[in-house]
């Protein structure tokens, strides 16, 4: 992709680098975890805001590391189908992107000090694991994204850990049903990654990456995507059956039509730059689902 760098301000270049359309993945678990805490009669605004800040900063850091590492590994080339990557496009230097990554991850660590004071050693371990995972997703001796563990990482970190950790910090204890909300969120965060993996099958195979679409082809990726949708929309069923949640949790089913339409498009769309629109739509589905599930928790309080 040809880019006229002189037409982009420094702010616009960094905005491209942080990938704002992907940030629902870090916002969604905070929404659902906070609402889960609220449904138990416990809620504190300051922890919610600090958790949200920390979560978004960690994801931005992971995005920046991914940008520069993929450039250094030769994964991102001029024929890439995904959205523009600032290092590959020459909009920012590798040194600038690395510096930005360490600044935002450092800022997340500073913000997390308050959360550690609030939650103790478990939160310290969790926070360090999240920052390490942001780096290990793309780089290090065993990069998660290159060794078939990216999907599991997304499900656990942005889903189970994100929702349960938020609920624990906001409520002061871990509501036992929070993990099912986390499973729903984590499944749709993973779905975003699956769309990305289907789109990038050719470049990922060239770069030696491993994931479901690489191993099983596009059909395998589509089946994995459908499975993630199934997990997300079955989670309220188990919330009601196991934890006697109110029927309000089924509000998230209002997003099923959007999910069905998206599944159909992923099955029929050609693998080209149009897949970027499907990636954005999957992120929007995640946000819609999470807002509705959070509303269901909140309305069903008590």
What is the structure's pLDDT at 75? 63
pLDDT of 1 over the 50 cut: no
Question: What span, in angstroms and rounded, lies between the C-alpha atoms of 108 and 287?
Answer: 22
pLDDT of residue 185: 97
pLDDT in tens, 235-246: 999 999 999 889
Whether this model's pTM surpasses 0.75: yes
CA–CA gap between residue 189 and residue 286 (Å, rounded): 7
Instruction: Give me the CATH topology for the region 13-299.
Output: Farnesyl Diphosphate Synthase (1.10.600)
Q: Which two tokens stand for residue 188?
A: 């749709």
What are 150-177's pLDDT values in tens digits?
889 889 989 999 999 999 999 999 999 9
d(CA 167, CA 46) in angstroms, rounded, equals 13
Mean pLDDT, the chain, integer = 89
Copy the structure tokens of residue 233.
């929309």
The contacts of residue 175 (CB under 8 Å, 6+ apart) are 36, 37, 39, 40, 167
Nearest to 70 by CA among 83, 56, 51: 83
Q: Rounded mean pLDDT of 97-115?
A: 94
Inter-residue contact 156 to 114 (CB < 8 Å)? no
Domain ranges across the chain? 13-299
Question: What are the pLDDT digits (tens) for 37-88?
Answer: 999 999 999 999 999 999 999 999 999 998 998 888 766 556 566 677 899 8
Torsion sign over Cα 279, 284, 287, 290: negative
Percent of the chain at pLDDT exceeding 70:
94
């Amino acid at each position: 992709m040809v880019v006229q760098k002189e037409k982009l301000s420094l702010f616009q270049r960094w905005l491209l680098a942080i990938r704002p359309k992907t940030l629902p993945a870090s916002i969604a678990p905070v929404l659902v975890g906070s609402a889960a805490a609220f449904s138990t009669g416990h809620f504190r605004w300051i922890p919610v805001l600090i958790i949200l800040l920390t979560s978004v900063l960690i994801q931005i850091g992971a995005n920046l590391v991914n940008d520069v590492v993929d450039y250094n590994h030769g994964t991102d080339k001029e024929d890439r189908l995904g959205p523009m990557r600032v290092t590959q496009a020459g909009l920012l230097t590798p040194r600038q992107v690395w510096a930005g990554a360490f600044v935002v991850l450092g800022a997340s660590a500073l913000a997390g000090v308050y959360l550690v004071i609030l939650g103790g050693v478990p939160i310290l371990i969790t926070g360090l694991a999240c920052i390490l995972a942001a780096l290990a997703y793309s780089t290090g001796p065993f990069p998660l994204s290159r060794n078939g563990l990216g999907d599991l990482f997304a499900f656990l970190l942005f889903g189970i850990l994100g929702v349960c950790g938020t609920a624990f910090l906001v409520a002061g204890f871990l509501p036992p049903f929070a993990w099912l909300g986390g499973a729903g969120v984590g499944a749709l965060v993973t779905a975003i990654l699956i769309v990305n993996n289907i789109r990038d099958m050719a470049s990922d195979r060239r770069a030696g990456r491993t994931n479901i679409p690489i191993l099983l082809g596009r059909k395998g990726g589509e089946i994995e995507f459908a499975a993630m949708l199934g997990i997300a929309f079955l989670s309220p069923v188990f919330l009601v059956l196991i934890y006697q949640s109110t029927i309000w949790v089924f509000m998230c089913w209002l997003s099923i039509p959007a999910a069905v339409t998206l599944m159909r498009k992923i099955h029929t769309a050609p693998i080209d730059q149009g897949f970027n629109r499907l990636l954005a739509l999957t992120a929007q589905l995640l946000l819609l689902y999470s807002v509705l599930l959070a509303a269901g928790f909140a309305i069903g309080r008590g």
